[in-house]
Amino acid sequence: MKKRLRFSKMHGLGNDFIVIDGINQRIEDTNLSSLARTMCDRNFGIGADGLIIALKSETTDIKMRVINSDGSEPEMCGNGIRCFSKFVYEKKLIEKVVFSVETLAGNMIQALIIKDGVVVSVEVDMGEPILKAKDIPVISDSDQAVCKPIDILGTTYEFTAVSMGNPHAVVFLDDLKTLDLEKVGPLFETHSNFPEKINTEFVQIVNPNESILIVWERGTGETLACGTGACASVVAGVLNKKCERKVKVHLPGGSLMIEWQEHDNHLVMTGPAELVFDGQIEI
């Protein structure tokens, strides 16, 4: 039997999502992997990089689940959690302007910046980075994978591995225009060094407080922005002595402010989230 499902189409710097209220709508009997593939299809569905579901939590104010467009479930999504935060506040699932969110990567704290009742920006405490190679996971001959060589299509790149609840390989390049992302990205994602696949960020340093980033996301491909990737790029930049702890990260879809706080080792991400439209779909 078919039923109608209400949703919001949203984006964070062009990284777009279909967001669903799973508290007031019954979706627990739905195959979420299949649902995400169908709804995210840009030709036969709504079109998005991922599906996000708001659910009740027993440990925090609310719970977020993210399903990639290929049906896989990542641990976290930085742009997605900003969209989620705007959604749950404006749909009155949450009344607080500072609240906790349960994710597969742990509990996150959101602080909303509101103007005339509308969420214009979200500050997210992304927690501490994971740097031990075995916990990311990445195959490495040392405890941390910092500036490690990797051969892709006959070229040797150097990557630094960081987990923000999901795994990232950060590669610094002098000029991003020389990179063929569509060829190189999938080979990083599926390389044998990364047992659970990898998100890959290619970074060009502008100055110690500014960088440019393009990303190949695990399970999605090239996207216009990646919040966890922007965080990972700053951590990798500090570890490689290429940037300061507070950096404006420019992505194809816009910019994020990322700060790796020295006093508590947490990363704080600040950036926008936008509603594109509300709708209903028959499933």
User: Which tokens belong to 102?
Assistant: 């349960």
Q: Kindly report each contact of residues 238-247 with a partner whose C-beta sits within 8 Å and lies 24 or more positions away, as own/partner.
A: 239/131, 239/144, 239/146, 239/160, 240/146, 240/147, 240/160, 240/172, 242/172, 242/205, 242/208, 243/205, 243/208, 243/209, 243/211, 244/208, 244/209, 246/209, 247/208, 247/209, 247/210, 247/211
Q: Where are the beta strands (DSSP E) in 56-154?
A: 62-68, 98-103, 106-115, 118-127, 148-152
Q: What is the CB neighbour count within 10 angstroms for residue 64?
A: 26
Which of 192, 190, 212 has its CA nearest to residue 201?
Answer: 212
Can you give the pLDDT at residue 170? 98
- CATH number for the region 133-265 comes to 3.10.310.10
Chain-centroid distance of CA 64 in Å reads 13
Return d(Cα 195, Cα 186) in angstroms, integer.
Answer: 14
Q: Determine the pLDDT at residue 27.
A: 82
| CA–CA–CA angle 6, 87, 218 (5° rounding) | 90
**Whole-angstrom Cα distance, residue 48 to residue 283?**
17
* Contact indicator for 203, 171 with CB cutoff of 8 Å: yes
With vertex at residue 194, the alpha carbon angle to CA 189 and CA 199, rounded to the nearest 5 degrees, is 40
**Tens of each residue's pLDDT in the chain, 283 residues:** 778 999 999 999 999 999 999 999 988 656 899 999 999 999 999 999 999 999 999 999 999 999 999 999 999 999 999 999 999 999 999 999 999 999 999 999 999 999 998 999 999 999 999 999 999 999 999 999 999 999 999 999 999 999 999 999 999 999 999 999 999 999 999 999 999 999 999 999 999 999 999 999 999 999 999 999 999 999 999 999 999 999 999 999 999 999 999 999 999 999 999 999 999 998 8
29: number of Cβ within 10 Å: 5
List, by residue range, all CATH 3.10.310.10 domains of the chain: 4-125+271-282, 133-265
State the residue for tokens 């190189």: 184
Note whether 99 and 114 are within 8 A (CB): no
Check residue 29 and give its pLDDT.
59
Place of tokens 């996971």: 137
Q: Could you say which architecture CATH assigns to the domain 4-125+271-282?
A: Roll (3.10)
Residues marked active site are found at 77, 226
User: Side chain identity at 116, as an amino acid letter?
Assistant: D
Rg of the Cα atoms in the chain:
18
